[in-house]
Amino acid sequence: MGSAQPVPVDRAGVRTYHRAPMSTALPESVDVARQVQARRTYEGSLPLASMHRLRDSLAADEGEARYAIEFGKDAFGISFVALRVEAGLPLVCQRTLDVFVLPVAIDQRLGLIAREDQEASLPEGYEPLLVPDGQLDLAGVVEDELILALPVVPSKPGAPLDWSDAPAGAAVEEERPNPFAVLGALKKH
């Protein structure tokens, strides 16, 4: 066999990668205490098709959500997970019934709590994330935040606000004279 020639990966000539060139799959479940202690970060993307609960609200399941997840502890000793998600969600406009892509950008800091009564101790700017058994499904958290970002009534930006009570195709009635106009004329005399 002939000798294999190396294939250049980068066009700019950079030979060292400081990050993996592809996003790795998120673990199915993580131990929150270990992630916080290690100040672990995850970056990558998830296909919209893999988000079963979100998929029911979408017009199509093509596309992906890019995420950055960072575990840590703040100056007050509060364990948190910082979540940044960007996605284009294909929705059906309820005014025009056209499919449009809603750009979503989420930047959320979630305070990790083991019991509901700990929610009151979270500082302002933190949303509570209940983790009673210490295990967390990261893909599920990304999906939950995207579901929360969905509008109640999707409307395509710039969609017309025309409104008509008449059924489609109904002819517009001509204005008829008021039958009481004659009485008004008699009253003037």
Residue ranges per structural domain of the chain:
30-159
In tens, the pLDDT along 9-56 reads 444 444 444 444 344 578 989 999 999 999 999 999 999 999 999 999
pLDDT value at residue 98:
92
User: Mean pLDDT for the chain?
Assistant: 83
In this prediction the pTM is: 0.71
- Choose among 85, 72, 78, 98: nearest CA to 157: 98
Contact partners, residue 147, CB within 8 Å, separation at least 6? 53, 54, 57
In tens, the pLDDT along 78-114 reads 999 999 999 999 999 988 899 999 999 999 999 999 9
**Inter-residue contact 95 to 156 (CB < 8 Å):** yes
In tens, the pLDDT along 167-178 reads 655 555 667 777
pLDDT value at residue 162:
66
